Amino acid sequence: MNKTDRKKLVLDVLYTSKGINRMIGFEPPLKEAALFIIKNEDMIWEARRVTRKQYSGINEDQLISDKFQKKKEAIDSLIKSLKSDLLSSIPDFQEDDSEYTVSLIELDEEGIEPILNTLYSQYKVVQGSSISIRSMNNQYVKKLGNLLKKLGRALIKKEVIDEVEREVLLNGIYNIFLEFTSVPDACNYYENKNKDDFDIQLLKVFIREKVIIYDNDEIQENWSVINKRINSWDDHENKKYSRK
């Protein structure tokens, strides 16, 4: 399933969910769908990095300042507004809607299954290993997709702001980024800290979310370049120490 198909399926899930529950007041899984959409578009990493960079260095005095509290209130207000816009923008069921059946196993493999938790509870019976979804008219896809991206970015900002509060209350300051002059230096640092449970994928998450790499005094922000260097480092270490 490609990105476009995953996006359309998630929108159809919201459409089906709202249609089922419009008379009983349940809310479709907007948060889960929004986070999935920005992950599907490879936007979630950048959203976290940008927000973490914005708050890096904040201390306790700044945390309790009016400026910080107003930012918290603003992001909460934005999330509430975007959820309202989304709900009002999802159309009602149409008589000529088509339906299709999706495999629960396939959805789990695609990472979409958690979004369906709400939908599962709405159906009286799940038909074996599949579930029926109504197909929303394509004219709504672009608008709803854009609203979900905005909501996703806002949710990530709130997630990071909550992270900032926890770190400052524990350590007195929020310094999430570690700086290295090369990718191998960052990889070696992580491996030394995680010798007993080293995992290449967790290393990539660590570098993508919490590390700044400098190339000749310039910040290297191209993930494709960084990822290739991580893989090269890993290949070298595997050959050197026969890790695999």
Cα atoms found within 13 Å of the Cα of residue 28, Cβ hemisphere only: 26
Domain limit, last residue, from 124, 155, 174: 174
Closest CA to 99 of 140, 132, 122, 138: 132
Residues 154 and 201 placed together within one structural domain of the fold = no
Domain limit, last residue, from 158, 174, 190: 174
Is the Cβ–Cβ distance between 82 and 144 less than 8 Å? no
66-89 vs 30-40: helix crossing angle, rounded to 10: 100
Domain that includes residue 115, residue range: 3-174
Residues 86 and 188 placed together within one structural domain of the fold = no
pTM listed for this prediction: 0.76
d(CA 118, CA 116) in angstroms, rounded, equals 5
Residues 74 and 156 placed together within one structural domain of the fold = yes
Residues 230 and 109 placed together within one structural domain of the fold = no
d(CA 152, CA 159) in angstroms, rounded, equals 10
Q: What residues contact residue 116 under an 8 Å CB cut-off, 6+ apart?
A: 13, 29, 104, 107, 131
Residues 234 and 139 placed together within one structural domain of the fold = no
Q: Structural domain tally of the chain?
A: 2
Residues 29 and 117 placed together within one structural domain of the fold = yes
Q: Is 93 helix (H, G, I), strand (E, B) or coil?
A: coil
Domain limit, last residue, from 143, 174, 205: 174
Residues 196 and 165 placed together within one structural domain of the fold = no
d(CA 147, CA 158) in angstroms, rounded, equals 17
Residue identified by tokens 């595997």 is 238
Residues 215 and 168 placed together within one structural domain of the fold = no
Residues 160 and 195 placed together within one structural domain of the fold = no
Residues 75 and 99 placed together within one structural domain of the fold = yes
In the prediction, which pLDDT does 3 show? 85
223-241 vs 200-210: helix crossing angle, rounded to 10: 140
Residues 148 and 33 placed together within one structural domain of the fold = yes
pLDDT in tens, the chain (244 residues): 788 888 898 899 889 888 877 655 667 889 989 998 998 887 887 788 788 888 888 999 999 999 999 999 999 999 999 999 999 999 988 888 899 888 777 766 666 666 666 565 555 445 566 778 899 999 999 999 999 999 999 999 999 999 899 989 988 999 877 888 999 999 999 999 898 888 999 999 999 888 888 887 788 888 999 999 999 999 988 877 655 4
Residues 148 and 221 placed together within one structural domain of the fold = no
